[in-house]
Structure 1
Amino acid sequence: MLQLRAIVSGKVQHVGYRSRVVTMARTLDLKGCVRNLEDGRVYVVAEGDRADLERFCRAIRMEDPLIRVEDIQVHLSPPKGAWDGFYKISGERETDSRLDTATVFLKELIVIVKDGFKETNSRLGSVEGKLDSMEGRLDQIVAGQEKIACKIDAARKEIVSEVKGLRYDLQEGALSRFSKNKADWTGRHPEGEPKIHIKPS
C-alpha cells in the first residue's frame, strides 16, 4: 500500500474534473480525497496498491471538451490510513454535487453533439462526392444524347433526301407510263408520230 499525492494543473476547476477523479478512484477502490486549490490547481490524495495508483494516475491525466490536464506533480509515500472512502472536498463558495453532476452531463452532451456534427459532416461529404459523381455521369449522358440527336438529325436529312429522290423517280416513272399509255390509247407517240402496228400475217 502507498499514498499518492498529486497536484494537477491545467483547465481543471469548475469543469467537473473532481467528480471524474472521484468516480475513477472509487472504481479502483482507492481511499482519499480531491479538492480545489486557490491557485486554480487541484490537489489529490489517494491510497491503495501501487498498480491501482499507477492506473489512477494515468486516468486522471485527461482531456475532453471542457477538461484539459497540462501537468501532474506526483509524490508517493507510505499510507496514513486516514480515509475510509474517496471524497470530493468542497470549499464554502464551491458548487454542490448536483451542479457537478449537471456539468458531467453537459460535457457528455457536448461530446455527443460534436460527434453528431462530425458524423453529419462525414455523411454530407459522402453525399457531396456521390452528387459530383452523378453530375459527371449526367454530363456523359447529356453528351451521349447530343451525339444521338446529331445522328438522328443526319438520318432524318438522309431519309428526307431518299424520299424526295424516290418521289422524283416515282413521278418520272408515272409520267413515262402515262405517256406510253396515252400513246397506246391515241395511237401516237408522245412526240406526235403515229404508232405503227405490225400484225403478223
Structure 2
Amino acid sequence: MNEVARVVVWVRGRVQGVGFRWFTRAKALEIGGLRGFALNLDDGRVQVVAEGSRDGCQSLLDWLQGDDTPGRVDGVTEIWDTPRGTYDDFAIR
C-alpha cells in the first residue's frame, strides 16, 4: 500500500532567480498526484511542501537532491510529516 505522505523541504544554494520554483512545480506535475507549493524564503532558500503518495513525495525529494535542478543546490533538509490535505494543486508562492 502506498500511503499518503507529506514532506517539507528546505533547499539552499543558488535557488532564487533561476526558475527553481517553476521547475519544481513542473516536476511535481510530471510525477503526478502531488499537491503543495514552492516558496522563496527571505534567507535565500526555497521551501517546498508536497503531499501525495509516499513514492511521489520521495521522487520529488530525489529530484531536489539531484543534479538536474536549475541553479545550484548546496543542501537539502527535509522533514516527513502527516498530510494535512489543505492543497488543491501544486502552486508557486
Normalised by the length of structure 2, the TM-score is 0.88
After superposition, give the CA deviation of every residue in 1:66-115 in whole Å (9 maximum; x if it has no partner): 511111100011100010110001xxxxxxxxxxxxxxxxxxxxxxxxxx
Identity percentage of aligned residues: 33
Normalised by the length of structure 1, the TM-score is 0.42
After superposition, give the CA deviation of every residue in 1:160-185 in whole Å (9 maximum; x if it has no partner): xxxxxxxxxxxxxxxxxxxxxxxxxx
Cα gap change, 1:13 to 1:62, in 2 (>3 Å): farther
After superposition, give the CA deviation of every residue in 1:41-71 in whole Å (9 maximum; x if it has no partner): 0001000111111111011224469511111
Larger RCO (CA under 8 A, 6+ residues apart): 2
Cα gap change, 1:14 to 1:78, in 2 (>3 Å): same
Matched, 1:60 2:64: yes
Separation in 1 of the partners of 2:16 and 2:26? 16
Greater fraction helix: 1
Runs of 4+ in 1 over 2 A off after TM superposition: 61-66
- Structure 1 segments unaligned to the other structure (5+ residues): 90-201
Cα gap change, 1:53 to 1:42, in 2 (>3 Å): same
Greater fraction strand: 2
2:49 corresponding residue in structure 1? 45
1:3 corresponding residue in structure 2? 6
Cα gap change, 1:75 to 1:13, in 2 (>3 Å): same
1:97 corresponding residue in structure 2? none
| Aligned match for 1:79, one of 66, 74, 83 | 83
Cα gap change, 1:52 to 1:41, in 2 (>3 Å): same
- 1:7 shift after superposition: 0.5
How many residues are matched? 89
| Aligned match for 1:19, one of 16, 19, 22 | 22
Cα gap change, 1:11 to 1:85, in 2 (>3 Å): same
1:178 corresponding residue in structure 2? none
Cα RMSD, aligned residues only: 1.6
- Structure 2 segments unaligned to the other structure (5+ residues): none
